[in-house]
């Protein structure tokens, strides 16, 4: 089985993802937040590319979430902080969500056989689920405005490591994936500090979201794996 790590949405080619299982990774914060919302009882999370699309899809009772430049969109119910998506706020609700990079990664994967939402929080379960789906696997790091982001790469490294372990070495990992596996192994025992000191970590600290970074840096805390069905992420 081939495992291909892709550095950012800008480098993903839609045709290359065709008929694969794509694990979309946006550790800070889209996929971590989607996972948290769904684990806290949200019925579904619908990723959309634009603010206008999000508003047009909203039915009575649905909530709007998302960010631009890491900040909540005016008129929306939530920003992109996982802490906003508490059980009392999201239980039984559909959430229409637009984020800068994570949502674009899902859109870019529309020809995939399966789309999963991966994060450090659910990496192990995500690897198990991806293997069950029995397709070639692409780990699509969302990145930031088409530039590679360290936290997504480290998560891809962890996922690739898990996939290699679960298949007893029966995976062929591309060179970028091998680099990320090495980088993850080097940093796994100080992941929060490592992620706080990379580009998005520093930006989120400046904006007052240090706790979000620490939350999203936890490994295998959640077992659920969001999967894309009929336009929405569900667990």
**Which stretches of the chain bind its own copies, using CB under 8 A?**
7, 11, 147-150, 153-154, 174-176, 178-180, 182-183, 185-187, 194, 198-199
Q: Do the Cβ atoms of 65 and 97 come closer than 8 Å?
A: yes
CA 106 to the chain's CA centroid? 9
Q: How far is the CB of 124 from its own copies (least distance, A)?
A: 21
Least Å from the CB of residue 91 to its own copies: 36
Shorter beta-carbon distance to its own copies: residue 77 or 212: 212
Question: Do 54 and 166 meet the contact criterion of CB atoms below 8 Å apart?
Answer: no
Report the residue number, 120 or 180, with the smaller CB distance to its own copies: 180
CB of 222 to its own copies, least distance (A): 24
Nearer to its own copies, 198 or 205 (CB): 198
Q: What are phi and psi of 21, to 5 degrees?
A: -90, 115
> Min. distance of Cβ 27 from its own copies in angstroms?
12
Q: In the complex with its own copies, which residue's Cβ is closer, 127 or 150? A: 150
Evaluate the omega torsion of the peptide bond into residue 64 and state whether it is cis, within 30 degrees of 0: no
Q: How far apart are CA 196 and CA 212, in angstroms?
A: 10
CA neighbours closer than 13 Å in the CB half-sphere of residue 111: 9
Q: Which of 126, 191 has the CB closer to its own copies?
A: 191
In what helix (H) or strand (E) does residue 25 lie, and over which residues does it extend?
strand 21-25
Q: What CA–CA distance (Å, rounded) separates 217 from 2?
A: 27
Q: Are 149 and 199 in contact (CB under 8 A)?
A: yes
Q: To the nearest whole angstrom, how small is the minimum distance from the Cβ of residue 185 to its own copies?
A: 5
């Amino acid at each position: 089985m081939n495992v291909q790590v892709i550095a950012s949405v800008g480098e993903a080619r839609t045709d290359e993802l065709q008929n694969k299982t794509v694990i979309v990774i946006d550790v800070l914060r889209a996929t971590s937040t989607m996972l948290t919302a769904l684990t806290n009882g949200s019925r579904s999370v619908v990723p959309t590319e634009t603010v206008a699309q999000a508003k047009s899809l909203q039915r009575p009772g649905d909530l709007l979430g998302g960010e631009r430049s890491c900040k909540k969109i005016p008129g929306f119910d939530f920003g992109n902080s996982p802490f906003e998506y508490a059980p009392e706020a999201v239980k039984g609700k559909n959430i229409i969500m637009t984020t800068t990079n994570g949502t674009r990664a899902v859109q870019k994967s529309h020809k995939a056989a399966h789309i999963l939402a991966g994060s450090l929080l659910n990496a192990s379960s995500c690897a198990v689920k991806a293997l069950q789906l029995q397709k070639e696997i692409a780990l699509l790091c969302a990145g930031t405005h088409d530039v590679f982001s360290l936290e997504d790469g480290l998560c891809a490294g962890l996922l690739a490591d898990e996939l290699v372990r679960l298949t007893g070495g029966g995976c062929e990992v591309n060179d970028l994936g091998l680099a990320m596996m090495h980088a993850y192994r080097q940093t796994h025992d100080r992941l929060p500090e490592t992620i706080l000191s990379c580009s998005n970590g520093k930006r989120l600290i400046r904006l007052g979201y240090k706790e979000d970074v620490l939350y999203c840096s936890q490994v295998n805390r959640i077992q659920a794996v969001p999967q894309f069905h009929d336009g929405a992420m569900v667990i």
